[in-house]
Amino acid sequence: MHNFAGVKSLLLALIVGLLGVQILPAAAQQVSVPIRAIIETIDSNSIVFRDEVNGVASVALDSKTMIYTSEPSSLADISPGDFVASAAVKQADGKLHSTELRIFPDALHGMGEGQRPMKDPNTVMTNATVAQVVGVPEGGRILKVRYQNGTAELIVDPQVPVTAVVWSDASALKPGMNVIVFAGKGPDGAVKAQTILAID
């Protein structure tokens, strides 16, 4: 498995582990997913990886391939009903302080829903729907969120990086970019990209 030097977030690693095959149609679940790779070359029809990953050296692209990238966002862009993912540190008082937060588009609503511990002590990942946004005098926000079988409050300080995962197209993908590809093998045996996440 590749070591992504450009990936700054622990969030990305958890997305990979949680998403699995759930955004792929049943017919596409014939190849081990996700494929985490670095783009070597790309054109309108295919992506060639810098190194072979799980026996896959390239994937085909077509008009149905869904591509998502990330762009800077802010606390002001978060509204009730949004689906977010946040890594957070649990303080001594039990409160969760976010260290990073991503806002997902409607197409990925529910991705990896739930709350679970992360590798580092006292850190958790929460993928949940925002129920209420409460402003605080210091300029941050308290997000009251709900997920299957639970609720939580996330304290998001003003300096916490907030990004939005957005729909894009193949023009946003460049050589050297780290990507996560969810793929399936077509009738002709070719491995076709169903969904691509480029959210370093």
- pLDDT tens figures, 142-167: 999 999 989 999 999 999 999 999 99
Residue ranges of the domains in the chain?
Answer: 10-67+167-198, 70-164
Statement: residue 18 has pLDDT above 50: no
Statement: residue 7 has pLDDT above 50: no
Which one has a higher pLDDT value, 87 or 199?
87
Exposed/middle/buried for 13, CB within 10 Å: 0-12, 13-18, 19+? middle
Q: With beta carbons less than 8 A apart as the criterion, state whether 200 and 38 touch.
A: no
What is this structure's pTM? 0.78
Amino acid present at 22: Q
Which one has a higher pLDDT value, 24 or 122?
122
Rounded Cα gap, residues 74 and 102, in angstroms: 10
Element (H, E) at 17: helix 10-19
Rounded Cα gap, residues 147 and 115, in angstroms: 8
Q: With beta carbons less than 8 A apart as the criterion, state whether 132 and 80 touch.
A: yes
Name the β-bridge partners of 128: 84
pLDDT at position 122:
94
Reading the block at residue 25, the tokens are: 């149609």
Average pLDDT over residues 105-125: 91
CATH topology of domain 10-67+167-198: OB fold (Dihydrolipoamide Acetyltransferase, E2P) (2.40.50)
Among the listed ranges 4-18, 75-89, 117-131, which one has the minimum average pLDDT value?
A: 4-18
